[in-house]
Structure 1
């Protein structure tokens, strides 16, 4: 896989880069850098960044998940900003448009003054949200949408699945927060979320979970809540930690979707007696492989409508401050603590 190659051009912008580090507290993990900005390609937008969000994928790539980073690299895959210029083949955006998007993992990210992004992955930002609120939404909402409707195969009908249950593991995280809202608003499912602290449990209930249980005692708590099994599981945490519980709790012919890999060995054969389905959701798969990337723009447009109608709400947790080396380091450190509620957002480059 190619990693964030920047073609030299004549425009120089300010950015925050990394050469990679597994330890966020190592020296010079992030650095202020003057970087060239490529001109927009035929289908690209050039966007001036107004706010960004930080996601677990940022910390994983920084730590080497896509291989060693040998040159200064711009991370960041959640942004809201204003279009500065458009490519020759772009017809649905123009300079001045306010947009939001998650972008592509194999192009330079949004921790910078400006960014080049494929217009097919972009939508007009929700009108009723400010920049920080909007920046919190794209990556996790796209992940939630694809997991629920593409992978679990749920119908988008608030009366559908009214006799069925969805278990959301790690309900208070960025993806879980979007899963709960979308499932509550667009299906008739009974939603059971996991959370281990009073603060995060309350957050899940506010978003629409019908019940909240502690994932540290998952099976007894689920059964105490009146459910022997569940029809669907959306796992937003390490699958190895929860694998045996999922095998026991999923009903025969049930479906499981997961977004977080594991270093543990899991027994996929354990699902065979129940003929249960296990599948991965990886939001970047469409742009990485060129498989209908325009679907991201379409989903984000639908999400903007839901947000503007007040049917779903921003999952913004905290605004860390302006984008800077210190604040970006703080955001990565907080994400890696595993105690984040909702999304962490930074405003435009300081």
Structure 2
């Protein structure tokens, strides 16, 4: 028999029997002309709980580029409305029969598997595989924990599955003594993005020296996180590549790009090395390594073909995948999350900086628009508190004050509670 309960308050783990069968959720679909893609359903059924799943009452959600991209580019959604959202945090209010890692009342954070029904973050209650969520330590608030999700999991998958580094090397005592062994270099392009923020910290714990690019306003922040070299992302691309070569003695063998195809091509230039640059700087050009350098282009494949005329080494471009490594792969996902649990509890990982989005579910659409149009400063994660969502009566009052006839509210609700609100999320 599965256990189901509901938390008494947003930040409290004390639980009582769950009596609600419906809740509030933000739905998205490919809109008809002149309509918004988003609307809040105030009476959506709570998803059924599977035997290896947990039911989470979400307190805070964080916004992702994927959320607006899915609507803008028409992938991940269709004519039927569904719940979007990847990242969130809250408290477990139900556990399936086979769940051993969690119990009712545990505070957790998650990166929702969008291919599974009922997991979308933009709703008050969601279900998740017990193998794919992490514990929130006592010192971390739910709004901070909501920033972990996609950024931290992406960093973990990139390092420990795509690049094949060992999870056994990731401990709170794994940082090398820099005076005696400075460690190899890793390049993280887009260091102030949320994935970059977590990559820097994990790479530092693994003993790497970190070089990254970011806007000047974020340089001091990234150095506090552990970056050794932070360069201006707005510099001339060719000069930026040369600066990285100077700072690292042209000895970067691993790069992860978080920005796009153009910057992924620059990362490849860095890791392939340059015999011309070495000759101009009185360095050996005989250092051709038979071991290929590695590039993980998270945000887009390199746009330009490789130029091997000046390279010291071959470069392997490696594709990142959640579906073949994390989702549905409990051996790896549990090992990764258990390691993250330890590092978070020991305060060896810091959550990303946050900016609160007003209005709960009602404010998410505007937050996504701000993100889409570059109105969110780098190094910050937009976070929304679901308790701030307007009640249906308040929505009607706001529409009436704005000049909408009262009957139109009912008409819109009838449509949204019918064909616009399928059960699949």
Q: Does the TM-score normalized on the shorter chain lie above 0.5?
A: yes
**1:231 match:** 253
| 1:323-338 matched pairs, under 5 angstroms | 323-325=360-362, 327-338=363-374
Seen in structure 2, the aligned counterparts of structure 1 residues 318 and 285 have a Cα distance that, compared at 3 Å, is farther
**SS at 1:280's partner residue?**
coil
**SS at 1:136's partner residue?**
coil
Partner Cα separation in structure 2 for residue 149 and residue 63 of structure 1: 32
Contact 2:157–2:325 under 8 Å retained in 1: no
CA-to-aligned-CA distance 1:183-209 (integer Å, 9 cap, x gap): 11x22211011012x222222112111
Partner Cα separation in structure 2 for residue 332 and residue 16 of structure 1: 13
**SS at 1:237's partner residue?**
coil
Partner Cα separation in structure 1 for residue 303 and residue 162 of structure 2: 23
Report the alpha carbon displacement of residue 310 of structure 1 after superposing the two structures with TM.
Answer: 1.7
Seen in structure 2, the aligned counterparts of structure 1 residues 16 and 35 have a Cα distance that, compared at 3 Å, is same
CA-to-aligned-CA distance 1:131-153 (integer Å, 9 cap, x gap): 00111112211111121222223
Partner Cα separation in structure 1 for residue 45 and residue 307 of structure 2: 50
**SS at 1:123's partner residue?**
strand
**1:159 match:** 176
**2:155 match:** 144
**1:106 match:** 115
Partner Cα separation in structure 2 for residue 63 and residue 310 of structure 1: 38
CA-to-aligned-CA distance 1:258-300 (integer Å, 9 cap, x gap): 21135x8443686998322211223354455x3x135324322
Partner Cα separation in structure 1 for residue 359 and residue 332 of structure 2: 31
Contact 1:121–1:294 under 8 Å retained in 2: no
Partner Cα separation in structure 2 for residue 49 and residue 307 of structure 1: 20
* Alignment equivalent of 1:190, drawn from 209, 216, 225: 209
**1:17 match:** 27
**SS at 2:84's partner residue?**
coil
Answering whether residue 100 of structure 2 is matched by residue 79 of structure 1, we say no
Seen in structure 2, the aligned counterparts of structure 1 residues 43 and 319 have a Cα distance that, compared at 3 Å, is same
Partner Cα separation in structure 1 for residue 211 and residue 326 of structure 2: 32
Query: Greater relative contact order (Cα 8 A, min sep 6): structure 1 or 2?
Result: 1
**SS at 2:145's partner residue?**
helix
Report the alpha carbon displacement of residue 224 of structure 1 after superposing the two structures with TM.
Answer: 4.3
**SS at 2:123's partner residue?**
coil
Answering whether residue 97 of structure 2 is matched by residue 88 of structure 1, we say yes
| Number of residues of Structure 1 aligned to a counterpart in Structure 2 | 332
Report the alpha carbon displacement of residue 116 of structure 1 after superposing the two structures with TM.
Answer: 1.2
**2:378 match:** 340
Contact 1:286–1:293 under 8 Å retained in 2: no
Contact 1:170–1:193 under 8 Å retained in 2: yes
**SS at 1:233's partner residue?**
strand
Seen in structure 2, the aligned counterparts of structure 1 residues 73 and 268 have a Cα distance that, compared at 3 Å, is farther
**SS at 2:298's partner residue?**
strand
Extract unaligned runs of 5+ from structure 2: 1-19, 273-288, 390-425
| 1:1-350 matched pairs, under 5 angstroms | 11-20=21-30, 27-33=35-41, 34-64=43-73, 66-107=75-116, 108=118, 109-155=120-166, 156=169, 157-159=174-176, 162-184=182-204, 186-196=205-215, 198-216=216-234, 217=236, 218-238=240-260, 240-251=261-272, 253-261=292-300, 265-267=303-305, 274-286=313-325, 290=328, 292-325=329-362, 327-338=363-374, 339-349=377-387, 350=389
Contact 1:48–1:82 under 8 Å retained in 2: yes
**TM score, norm. by length of structure 1:** 0.85
Q: Which moved more, 1:43-52 or 1:219-228?
A: 219-228
Seen in structure 2, the aligned counterparts of structure 1 residues 243 and 144 have a Cα distance that, compared at 3 Å, is closer
**SS at 1:141's partner residue?**
helix
CA RMSD of aligned residues (A): 2.7
**TM score, norm. by length of structure 2:** 0.71
Seen in structure 2, the aligned counterparts of structure 1 residues 269 and 12 have a Cα distance that, compared at 3 Å, is farther
Partner Cα separation in structure 1 for residue 176 and residue 164 of structure 2: 15
Seen in structure 2, the aligned counterparts of structure 1 residues 69 and 121 have a Cα distance that, compared at 3 Å, is same
Extract unaligned runs of 5+ from structure 1: 1-9
